[in-house]
Amino acid sequence: WRDSEGCCVLASRRHCWLVMSAPDSHQFGNIQLSGKDQQRDENSGTLKVHAGGFGWKSRKTGNIISVQKADLRGVEWLKIPHAYQLKLRVKGGFVYKFNGFRSQDKDTIKMYCKDTFEADMEDVHMSYKGWNWGEGSIEGQNIVFKVEKRLALEIPLSEVTQATAVKNEAVIEMADDDTAMPDDEVLVEMRLHVPAPTGEEAADMDGTAAENFVNQIKEGGDLEKAGLALASFEDVPIQVPRGRYEVEMFDKFMKLHGKTFDYKVMYSNVSALYLLPKPDGYHMALCITLEHALRQGQTQYPHVILQLPKDTPLEVTINLEEDEIQERFGEKLSQIEAGDMPSVIAKVFSAFTKRKVIALKKDGFNGGSKAEDDRATSIRCSVKANEGQLYPLDKCFFFIANKPMVVDFDKVGSVEFNRVQSNTSSARTFDITVHMKDGTGVNQFVNLQRNVYKELYRFLTEKKIRIKNVAANSNFGDADGDDDDEVNDPYMERMKREREQADMAEDDDDDDEDEVWPSS
């Protein structure tokens, strides 16, 4: 029988033997799930090997990866820098890698796998010669490159976004890591020179050796990652980065093909979509705000601005079956979408990125009688040397220019009006300075037309944004003396009441006509 501690007890009349039973499982702490983002806290956890297989649990999130005994196809042990790696090959060609083991853990895992899983753990030796020639192949769900039959590198097919053949080269492109910092080095492309075969092998081969290798990648990986776009738009004018691009929509990312540069945008990297009218009355700006900026050399693009003509009709077909479209997107997308270009592209982008398209509100800035006029929905101004349009939206300022910028209202500490004092009442423009709560600095917008002052003041007051210096002349903003453009400005109303009270006290209309009241 077993006692309360799980020990086997064998008894007879004269003797009693205490026999310790073998452990049912082994547990290893501080084990990292290997991958390009293995440095994250959520990828550190505990690995447990038990009679049913392997199980890994994240210490931070509690996520579990389970490998059942019946699905196990191979167990490998590798030496990596500063530690050891356990590689599990499972049914379907998938591979799980776990880092952080010690050298003394090898015998424990090897013996347990042999006794429990009837599987021999294989020692795999890496190649450290640094040669750039060897043998490339597709093994399961991985691209494997070996030097003298030793593993040099391994790339999961799930990370491959595109594979093409250019003469004798196989060009393999990987999805950019949207969590990488600007100074991080990320593998985004690899070119393999595949020599042309000779003799009988060349006679039996269709196409070049590079094309055959690329076809193997396409057969082993997902179709959408191998080059089949789910939707595409040709010759799309883009303001930032400037040029005309072919836009291809894949399952997890979109790709912008330009004459000079190509860009990949992961849907998980899109934080917001805006559809805003341009002041020319002809274009709409579809703005894609990114959590991590696109990079081209030293230039970063935190926003992608599409400039789409309103009157251009567009029809696009989604390359999926109707039932699959219904399962993925619900009622948000149909197999064939038709309409004007801004509406169609915005709808498709919203469905793929799972982000709501933000547009102007009727009760927002200049939301009254001027709401139908595209020129009244934005303010022409400049940030340093960049001239553009400032859009006061429901939750932020969006400045569209060659260097776009977003200022969230929840991060704004105060707004300061400049050049609106009484001695500048004849000025045609004014400036505003936006002070941030976290003290990261200020954003200054200059040369705003004076006829938008009252509406901007009303808008900021309605949003409960603190005005740092309410120093404005009572007549500022009356550019043409047109009472129809007046807005109920609390500060202006107070100034008028004070002036009327002063008029009544002094009872001298002639003097009051030339009087200039100091700002408070």
The pLDDT tens digits for 418-450 are 888 756 556 788 999 999 987 778 899 999 998
Task: Give the pLDDT confidence score for residue 414 in this predicted structure.
Answer: 92
What is the CA angle 217-220-223, rounded to 5? 85
Range of lowest pLDDT (27-36, 137-146, 164-173, 365-374): 365-374
Give pLDDT, residue 18.
Answer: 37
Mean pLDDT across 300-304? 92
**For residue 182, what pLDDT band results from cuts at 50, 70 and 90?**
low
Cα separations in angstroms, 97 against 65, 76, 171, 511: 11, 9, 26, 87
Report the candidate in 473, 431, 479 with the shortest Cα–Cα distance to residue 451: 479
CA–CA separation, 145 and 181 (whole Å): 28
Domain boundary assignment for the chain: 25-124, 135-224, 231-358, 410-513
Please confirm whether the linkage preceding 195 is cis (ω < 30° from 0).
no
| The length of the chain, given as a count of residues | 520
* Residue closest to 85 by CA, chosen among 100, 96, 103: 100
Confidence of residue 216 (pLDDT cuts 50, 70, 90): confident
Confidence class for position 499, pLDDT limits 50, 70, 90: low
| Interaxial angle between packed helices 490-506 and 453-462, expressed in degrees from 0 to 180 and rounded to the nearest 10 | 110
Indicate the CATH number for domain 410-513: 2.30.29
Decide if 261 contacts 296 (C-beta within 8 A). Answer: yes
Closest listed residue to residue 145, CA positions, set 108, 107, 193:
193
246-283 pLDDT, tens digit per residue, is 999 988 888 888 887 778 888 888 999 999 999 988 99
Give the tokens for residue 45.
């956890």
Q: What angle do CA 499, 368, 452 make, to 5 degrees?
A: 55
8 A C-beta contact, residue 182 and residue 222: no
Q: What integer pLDDT is reported at residue 474 of this predicted model?
A: 45
Q: Is the pLDDT of residue 502 over 80?
A: no
Return the CATH number of the domain spanning residue range 25-124: 2.30.29.30
Which tokens belong to 125?
């030796």
Q: Which CATH superfamily does the domain covering 135-224 fall into? A: Structure-specific recognition protein (SSRP1) (2.30.29.220)
User: What is the average pLDDT across 18-28?
Assistant: 63
Q: What percent of the chain has pLDDT over 90?
A: 34
What CATH number labels 231-358?
A: 2.30.29.150
Q: What is the pLDDT of residue 313?
A: 94
Helices in 335-395 by DSSP H: which ranges? 341-353
Give the C-alpha separation, 318 to 405, whole Å. Answer: 32
User: What pLDDT is attached to residue 9?
Assistant: 45
| 372-395: average pLDDT | 87
Helices (H), 101-230: 105-112, 200-203, 209-220, 223-226
- Same-fold call for 25-124 versus 231-358: yes
pLDDT value for 441: 81
Name the DSSP class of 39.
Answer: T
pLDDT of 83 over the 70 cut: yes
pLDDT at 520: 34
Type and span of the H or E element at 83: strand 83-90
